Amino acid sequence: MLSEFKVNELEIHKYILEPINSNMYLIVKNKSALIIDPHICQDAVEFLEQKTVEEIWIILTHEHFDHISGVNFFREHWSCTVLCGNHAKEYLTDPLKNLSAYFKSLLIDKDAETVRIAEEVFDENYSCYADIGFDGRYGFEWQGLDIQLIETPGHSKGSICILVEEQYVFTGDSLVADNAVITRLPGGSKKEYRLITKPFLEGLSKDTIVFPGHGKENILNRFEIT
């Protein structure tokens, strides 16, 4: 499923991974693409080919399989540079730590067609690697845009938020629509979320546009930071 947004001349394309409704975001400028939380998606490949993209930068909001499952897929098609926090970088290579080993447990109550689709896009032995890791905060410029990566632990040890031009924030599972942030998974911490991530989110402008890892985008003022 594809949704397209144009905010202050910035075009953002969202692809939803149906079995568990995780969001992948694409931004394309000058034959370069920025992908946030990739999953396997042929429609995205066709779009990037139409745009004659030559290089891809991939940013992972955290290490969980539903947000990393397309890293190897896109590496097969393009030269990619993958960035994430150092904790996530460590966990990407281990199916037990990136939770791909457990994905079938999430499908117990799903119908047969959903299970079939999930098995096509998820590998229970999945691993990948990142090229660049960081601790705390990491900033860089991509195609004239200021990109700031900030550690926001709580949902997982390797969780980050991605702040673009101080106008847009991609939150992964550190802030999702209509649901409280899950901190009970391995590496999660309610205390770290309360002490680090919640103050960061509350310190952003209330007009910041939030693109979450699951659910619909909206301005920060419409989200409940719990």
Cβ atoms of 170 and 160 within 8 Å: the answer is no
- pLDDT tens for residues 42-85? 999 999 999 999 999 999 999 999 999 999 999 999 999 999 99
Second-level CATH architecture of 2-215? 4-Layer Sandwich (3.60)
Q: Catalogue the long-range contacts made by 114-117 (C-beta closer than 8 Å, 24 or more residues apart).
A: 114/18, 114/19, 117/18, 117/19
Cβ-in-10-Å burial (0-12, 13-18, 19+) of 171 comes to buried
Q: What is the largest CA-CA distance in the chain?
A: 46
Q: Has residue 116 got a pLDDT over 80? A: no
Q: Has residue 5 got a pLDDT over 70? A: no
Across residues 161-177, what is the average pLDDT? 96
> What does the block give as tokens for 136?
């705390």
pLDDT: which is higher, 23 or 112 = 23
Q: Has residue 6 got a pLDDT over 90? A: no
The whole-chain average pLDDT of the chain stands at 92
Cβ atoms of 218 and 225 within 8 Å: the answer is no
How much is the pLDDT for 123? Answer: 87
When mean pLDDT is compared across 11-20, 75-84, 165-174, 181-190, the lowest value belongs to 11-20
Taking the domains of the chain in order of start, what are their residue ranges? 2-215
How much is the pLDDT for 38? Answer: 98
Cβ atoms of 155 and 171 within 8 Å: the answer is no
Q: Has residue 95 got a pLDDT over 90? A: yes
pLDDT: which is higher, 225 or 192 = 192
Helix (H) or strand (E) run with residue 68 in it: none
Q: Has residue 1 got a pLDDT over 60? A: no
Percent of the chain residues past pLDDT 70, beyond the cut: 94
pLDDT band at 179 (very low <50, low <70, confident <90, very high): confident
3 C-beta neighbours (distance < 10 Å), count = 13
Q: Has residue 8 got a pLDDT over 80? A: no
